[in-house]
Structure 1
């Protein structure tokens, strides 16, 4: 009878843990960056969900300041040197070093991420598309990503750890083996990291700690299962909440492993720690109390932060929480979701001899219930592995194109009797931009057939990339594309690109497309240049997939014909809306600042994807208003990759190459040194921003001058410096409302910095995205956030 009871109890606990939607990790709604002396939290009962921070020094705390007042956040996390906040929805996150003017957007795009955690040198998050864990700011100490299903992601000094579906702990980074080996014999449900140690609960509710133990921080306390939970780990101490009364219990530090209660009688929802500091969110009124764990008798202080959320708000109703919701969580989330109760608060306390005060319960005292648990764990592990294997099988079945690898087709070897190159290698870098070249010493096989076969093989060998899946580009015959364009009728001509003329076409299946046809005369001295541009576009667009980049539909290679087929952009190029040939042409772009700023934001996100998220990075080299196209829904997309190159892996790197681009948009530093960087694209986009702001062409004849052509940079920047932004804005738009004036000033100052002569003084494209988002929010929401806008402008001006 006792055996059956123990079996039932263990099975119940396992079920509660495995089917819980709750995950701990090191992310949450409150975070401490001890190195910067900053505590930040997400305010309750407000929209957008704002992050408020206060700087602490000794017993003094500064007045709280808000981080990006127009952005709503889900969670915050911190390391010693900086903090990061995850935007609501998980499609972007920002980081700052304790100063609101230092904020930078680190990630933006698809897929969304969750469980954002910050370590000493790294930021990590779970990829919600099911592709595992990703890292940023790694200093090359961590992999870019790992596949798998993980929970309880947490980061410390030179390590990141998470729990697999079978309960085992996996770690990455220089200290991965040290941290991972401690948990090799345990099946865990939660883990939380400090600087150099980890603590968590195994699946029976006992505390397990590992890593550094110089001050007794890793000696797990004895107690009943689930008696201690919600851990907070500092540099040399550990704290937890003790059930059922919710008081804070700590160990480690100068007093060693002895337990102490800094605030006996105060109930907390959760605790956070950093360095020697520990803070807790009170159950009574959601205020933040902090104390220094290095000295056990210091006074506790209340931080001047607003009421902080007791948990992360999730979209949906009460039915999405497997263990119930917080009381009044709908009101705390301002009616936009609920806060789920932690499932480990619901687990029954199982009567069992407490483990000794040691790093782990002794394996020699395992009773029959544990053996039953081991059997269940083994079965669960097997089922989990089966599920993972099935998931991998499904992925392998999908015929997709790699987003991270560019194919390079090598020349034939001497042993190839046909003289046809068939060897295909994968290159992730190189000064030639990863362009495809093909060779033939024999006329027995047409070059087009060789190229098509090799290209098809290259695509088939590629797997899934880190950004998103992309379908194969279709291969069309020249005859098909002739019919689609009515034999390339001039009436269907819609523009010209880096290697040819663009026509509007209609495919037999009803799809409307844009078809770019290169020059067909191989005796033309520019043929090889056009060939390179064609190969470049085909290579880049075949691996890129982003909603703000033009999508490739297919290609055609027959004899000397080179054609690319794109998704048709119904509303044409931004250039044509800003500078219409027919003055009677009516466009919403002409009359709306909101539309113009949204188009700039869309385009900047496309460029940001190229610079920060394509692997390897890509330098476009020809950013201009005629290469920003607008689809049927007025969504802007960057186009024309004929001049693009695979860029250096760091923002400080550069490529040596002959200057190329368009006069008026070309980076003067690149033109003078033949050294191109990602900041060269920033210069071109700065010109586009000035073009949108003023309505002037990149090079135009200034009526107030001597009739000589003048650049929009030389025209606008001196007036922006003089504080005369109003004198240069496009007069075709109705006079700006108050919030529009603030938005335009913000754009003007950002554009001014984008077109600085030295690339190192220009902002990154991520900085540009952040400021454009702020400008658009000012207009959309009708905000008069003077403090926020002033701070943004000030952060730009202080770079002078």
Structure 2
């Protein structure tokens, strides 16, 4: 979804999700894309004559070839429209609402989002569209934009891929779970056929955007800070909550970032109560996202907390490599990140080849080695070998603050020099042999230094840093 969490839970290859915030040509295209986001009661009140493309950084394109695809569900049918449009009393009976949640009227949220106008649109997911809004600090009344409490309002798309059960799960879990690394649910709205959720606004959007959609690479220390925060969120769900919870949809688009890059888990539509007592697993239909779901869960439908640990390993690998979990745009053999990376993870010399080249050596050698080893443990084919999330947290704690930068390492400089010469030679049709290059059958000694100045986002622009003025 647009404030950082976007997920399709059901396979429907005939239906493409809408693109929000991408460059489009022609107002009719923009009107068509945004029209599906309007809550039914607000459509008649909305003026779309001046629709423009949304440049909001957290909105996402979902037609990319490399986008994550949903896991094929076992014995699953989509939520019917009858379920999604049930009467308010039925929902009220099923809803176990925490007293701290605020109950909004539809009109409150329509005014808070400025009539769900396109300029307020943050993005769209399987559940529906997300709009930016402003409400009273301690109430439900709308206030002037830029004042009061900034929120993200998620609307239920009745014709969408998610519905009744996911909406209830979101309220049930986030309405009763409080932790610094979980997105805070402020309140909800049930009115006629409208189902809306109101969350705290996360100004830096999703981890997915920062890893794969921004021109500047996310600095190493911030990557490790985000990994640690997300691990703490899973640890709370697995080991500290009153009842254990399996998240089941851990991925980069569901990790949201506040102004200081603190990670918070969002989108609990697929969450399940974990096994209790003598039970070792929960048997459930297979749902999640291709590339992130644990192999034993996909094969058997047996869900455990170790399924989340596997997903964490995939995300950690994405943070190390700068590659998506599934990317069909990569060469053959590199589509599946985990399978491509396995041979490199445990090799202390080869693991450098995994690391995001955009970091250009601006990462801790010890930290990268420990993170790669941790990813390998989390991705073990045997779930019993995978660590608990509390153990993952302990491993990650020192990593954001390590200062042994690879850019000052002789080995890394040599490797980078070889890589640079290899890339340059292949582009210019030049073949390298030892310390010589061969051009037109004549050998010449390589005299240029591999450590000369190169274009680098670290040298040309300031890397993103946490906003120290906020707590």
TM-score bracket, shorter-length normalisation = 0.5 to 0.7
C-alpha separation in 2, matches of 1:668 and 1:638: 22
C-alpha separation in 2, matches of 1:695 and 1:572: 17
Unaligned residue ranges in structure 2 (runs of 5+): 1-81, 136-141, 407-471
Which structure has greater strand proportion? 1
* Deviation of the 1:649 alpha carbon: 2.8
C-alpha separation in 2, matches of 1:450 and 1:644: 22
The 5 A counterparts of 1:119-134 are none
- What's the Cα RMSD here? 2.7
Out of 353, 357, 368, the position equivalent to 1:731 is 357
Secondary structure in 2 matching 1:548:
coil
C-alpha separation in 2, matches of 1:676 and 1:492: 38
User: Is 2:346 the counterpart of 1:721?
Assistant: yes
User: Is 2:144 the counterpart of 1:519?
Assistant: no
Out of 190, 197, 204, the position equivalent to 1:564 is 197
TM-score by length of 2: 0.62
Partner residue, 2:173: 540
Give yes or no for contact 1:651–1:677 (8 Å, CA) kept in 2.
no
* Deviation of the 1:515 alpha carbon: 1.1
Partner residue, 2:261: 634
* Deviation of the 1:716 alpha carbon: 1.5
Partner residue, 1:761: 385
* Deviation of the 1:447 alpha carbon: 3.0
Partner residue, 1:448: 88
Out of 605, 610, 620, the position equivalent to 2:232 is 605
Give yes or no for contact 1:498–1:533 (8 Å, CA) kept in 2.
no
Partner residue, 2:127: 499
Give yes or no for contact 1:755–1:762 (8 Å, CA) kept in 2.
yes
When structure 1 is superposed on structure 2, of 673-682 and 769-778 the one drifting more is 769-778
C-alpha separation in 2, matches of 1:699 and 1:571: 24
Give yes or no for contact 2:221–2:399 (8 Å, CA) kept in 1.
no
Partner residue, 1:95: none
What does the per-residue CA deviation read over 1:582-625, in whole Å, with 9 as the maximum and x for residues that have no partner?
A: 63xx4xxx241111000100010011000001121000000000
Partner residue, 1:482: 110
Query: Residue 498 and residue 606 in structure 1: after superposition, are their counterparts in 2 closer, same or farther (change >3 A)?
Result: farther
Give yes or no for contact 2:101–2:188 (8 Å, CA) kept in 1.
yes
Partner residue, 1:263: none
Give yes or no for contact 1:573–1:627 (8 Å, CA) kept in 2.
yes
Aligned residues: 312
* Deviation of the 1:760 alpha carbon: 1.3
The 5 A counterparts of 1:406-421 are none
What does the per-residue CA deviation read over 1:184-215, in whole Å, with 9 as the maximum and x for residues that have no partner?
A: xxxxxxxxxxxxxxxxxxxxxxxxxxxxxxxx
Give yes or no for contact 1:498–1:642 (8 Å, CA) kept in 2.
no
Secondary structure in 1 matching 2:267:
coil
What does the per-residue CA deviation read over 1:471-518, in whole Å, with 9 as the maximum and x for residues that have no partner?
A: x11111112212222332333332334522222222224211111111
Query: Residue 741 and residue 544 in structure 1: after superposition, are their counterparts in 2 closer, same or farther (change >3 A)?
Result: same
C-alpha separation in 1, matches of 2:277 and 2:267: 24
State the structure with bigger RCO (CA 8 A, min sep 6), 1 or 2: 2
The 5 A counterparts of 1:663-702 are 663-701=290-328
Give yes or no for contact 1:497–1:640 (8 Å, CA) kept in 2.
no
Query: Residue 496 and residue 651 in structure 1: after superposition, are their counterparts in 2 closer, same or farther (change >3 A)?
Result: farther
Query: Residue 767 and residue 459 in structure 1: after superposition, are their counterparts in 2 closer, same or farther (change >3 A)?
Result: closer
What does the per-residue CA deviation read over 1:205-238, in whole Å, with 9 as the maximum and x for residues that have no partner?
A: xxxxxxxxxxxxxxxxxxxxxxxxxxxxxxxxxx
C-alpha separation in 1, matches of 2:397 and 2:156: 38
What does the per-residue CA deviation read over 1:548-580, in whole Å, with 9 as the maximum and x for residues that have no partner?
A: 000000100112211110000000000000001
Give yes or no for contact 2:245–2:274 (8 Å, CA) kept in 1.
yes
Partner residue, 2:207: 574
Query: Residue 734 and residue 547 in structure 1: after superposition, are their counterparts in 2 closer, same or farther (change >3 A)?
Result: same
Which structure has greater helix proportion? 2
Give yes or no for contact 2:211–2:218 (8 Å, CA) kept in 1.
no
Q: Which has the larger radius of gyration?
A: 1
